[in-house]
């Protein structure tokens, strides 16, 4: 048995026919009212997904050729809604599925974040998670009044302290602080509500928080760092890790490495679930699935532009300064997603930038076939890797693609007893650790 998560973007759904969706709907202009995302969340819950992870970034990219044309043409990273705000609406529309919101430890403030996530944990009745990101863009830093992003490893030190500050605030209400006693007339017992008095190198907060202790006390901690510093952070602090290794061997190596690091931090590695990003291409027949794949690989110009936009957004690398008919120079570095860049260099090898960036899709496994054959492959790979789950992704999203997953792949997995058929617990953390 394994678990499913959904990599959600609060960005524009499909506005033109694509290999994974032949239909054009009016979602592309209506998505900002959130209803598309409510339908998505309900479908995922019905289909046995453990959680919906809402990614986030905080800028309109404009590195490629020095303007925002590529970013806005393909709308991968902007425009985008704020997941923390949207989560409360999704919470009201669902009962069981976990909702994980991305929030930056580099730009946000611990008191504000602790208050928002405690509120969301109440509103979801214990289904909230926090994707802790250190962020990766000077452009975002400039939106928050800084000149540039702090250095990569320093951001992880800040994140470590940020989390401790937030926890000091979440600890400030004892479990039994609220008495709401008709007899005494007291609502809360002031001796059970404490100041946090947190003072670190980067953050200082007095407390107490003005939100009472929430059902999970701390949100489910999620992280996606891949560098050595990022892996340590994730192994030390998280319940859930997202990663995109290339193929079963790398998946297994990544999982083994994290579990070993977790043990080194005195943790039970079974308390950490690792989700591998996949983008399955599901057809009605094998031939249909291969046609979808061929169409995907055939739109070389679009793939190239989307890749360029990916580089500028996540690594702040302007790829237009390199000759596209030569390989990516080995000495390119980033203060953004370092492991992403290293993975790209390894995957691209000696290929020219144009050749490498014109094909492919981001996925730990190729997964092309009918729901039945893809389900078989997922089962075999997960058995080899040892656990824990897959994070399904596509962008732009469409109702059609959601349906191929929730109405074809999920039922095929469920028939094999591979994914949950219900939710045993109320809290996201409990459901993650104990899949039904």
Ligand X SMILES: Cc1cc2nc3c(=O)[nH]c(=O)nc-3n(C[C@H](O)[C@H](O)[C@H](O)COP(=O)(O)O)c2cc1C
Interface ranges with ligand X (CB under 6 A): 7, 55-57, 102, 131, 133-136, 152, 224-227, 230, 242-244, 277, 337-340
**Residue 346, number of CB atoms within 10 A of its CB:** 10
Question: Which residue, 116 or 136, has its beta carbon nearer to ligand X?
Answer: 136
Q: Is 156 annotated as a binding residue?
A: yes
The least distance separating ligand X from the CB of residue 24, rounded to whole angstroms, comes to: 27
Angle between helices 110-123 and 83-93 (to 10 degrees): 10
Judge whether 337 is annotated as a binding position.
no
Comparing CB distances to ligand X, the nearer of 141 and 177 is 141
Q: Does 227 appear as a known binding residue?
A: yes
| Residue among 200, 127, 205, 143 nearest 170 (CA) | 205
Cβ-Cβ contacts under 8 Å for 314 (sequence gap 6 or more):
136, 336, 337, 340
In the complex with ligand X, the residue whose CB is nearer, 194 or 345, is: 345
CB of 131 to ligand X, least distance (A): 6
Q: What is the DSSP letter of 32?
A: G
C-alpha separations of 217 from 115, 169, 173 in Å? 12, 10, 10
Please, what is the minimum distance in Å from the beta carbon of residue 279 to ligand X? 11
Residue 337 or residue 361: which is nearer to ligand X going by CB?
337
Q: Could you tell me the smallest distance in angstroms from the CB atom of residue 153 to ligand X?
A: 9
* CB of 62 or CB of 171, closer to ligand X: 62
Q: Output the residue with the shortest Cβ distance to ligand X.
A: 230
The Cα–Cα gap between 14 and 193 comes to: 48
CA-based R_g, the chain, Å: 22
Q: Token match 């730009």: residue?
A: 107
Tokens of 409: 């792949």
Q: Which is nearer to ligand X, 171 or 316 (CB)?
A: 316
**Strands (E) located in 166-228:** 198-199, 204-205, 220-223
- We find the least distance from the C-beta atom of residue 150 to ligand X, in angstroms, to be 12
Strand segments, DSSP code E, in 209-286 are: 220-223, 240-243, 273-278, 281-282
**Cβ at position 181, least distance to ligand X in Å:** 43
Annotated binding site for FMN, which residues? 56, 102, 152, 156, 227
């Amino acid at each position: 048995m394994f678990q499913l998560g959904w990599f959600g973007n609060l960005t524009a759904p499909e506005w033109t026919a694509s290999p994974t969706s032949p239909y054009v709907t009016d979602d592309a202009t209506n998505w900002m009212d959130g209803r598309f995302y409510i339908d998505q969340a309900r479908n995922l819950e019905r289909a046995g997904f453990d959680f919906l992870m809402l990614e986030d970034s905080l800028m309109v990219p404009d590195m490629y050729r020095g303007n925002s044309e590529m970013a806005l043409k393909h709308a991968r990273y902007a425009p985008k809604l704020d997941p923390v705000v949207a989560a409360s609406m999704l919470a009201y529309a669902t009962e069981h599925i976990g909702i994980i919101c991305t929030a930056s430890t580099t730009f946000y403030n611990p008191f504000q974040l602790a208050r928002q996530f405690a509120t969301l944990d109440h509103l979801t009745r214990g289904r909230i998670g926090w994707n802790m990101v250190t962020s990766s863009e000077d452009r975002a830093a400039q939106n928050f009044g800084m000149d540039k992003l702090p250095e990569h490893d320093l951001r992880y030190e800040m994140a470590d302290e940020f989390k401790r500050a937030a926890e000091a605030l979440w600890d400030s209400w004892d479990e039994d602080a609220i008495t709401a006693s008709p007899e005494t007339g007291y609502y809360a017992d002031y001796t059970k509500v404490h100041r946090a008095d947190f003072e670190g190198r980067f953050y200082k907060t007095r407390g107490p928080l003005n939100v009472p202790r929430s059902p999970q006390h701390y949100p489910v901690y999620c992280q996606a760092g891949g560098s050595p510093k990022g892996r340590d952070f994730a192994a030390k602090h998280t319940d859930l890790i997202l990663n995109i290794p290339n193929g079963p061997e790398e998946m297994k190596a990544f999982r083994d490495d994290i579990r070993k690091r977790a043990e080194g931090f005195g943790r039970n590695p079974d308390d950490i679930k690792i989700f591998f990003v996949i983008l399955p291409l599901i057809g009605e027949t094998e031939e249909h699935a291969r046609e979808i794949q061929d169409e995907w690989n055939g739109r070389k110009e679009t793939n190239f532009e989307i890749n360029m936009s990916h580089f500028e957004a996540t690594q702040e690398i302007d790829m237009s300064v390199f000759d596209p008919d030569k390989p990516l120079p080995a000495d390119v570095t980033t203060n953004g997603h370092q492991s992403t860049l290293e993975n790209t260099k390894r995957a691209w090898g000696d290929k020219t930038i144009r050749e490498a960036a014109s094909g492919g899709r981001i996925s730990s496994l190729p997964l092309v076939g009918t729901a039945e054959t893809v389900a078989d492959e997922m089962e075999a790979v997960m058995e080899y890797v040892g656990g824990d789950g897959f994070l399904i992704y596509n962008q732009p999203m469409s109702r059609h693609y959601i349906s191929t997953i929730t109405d074809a792949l999920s039922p095929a997995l469920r028939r094999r007893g591979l994914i949950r058929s219900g939710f045993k617990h109320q809290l996201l953390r409990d459901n993650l650790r104990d899949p039904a």
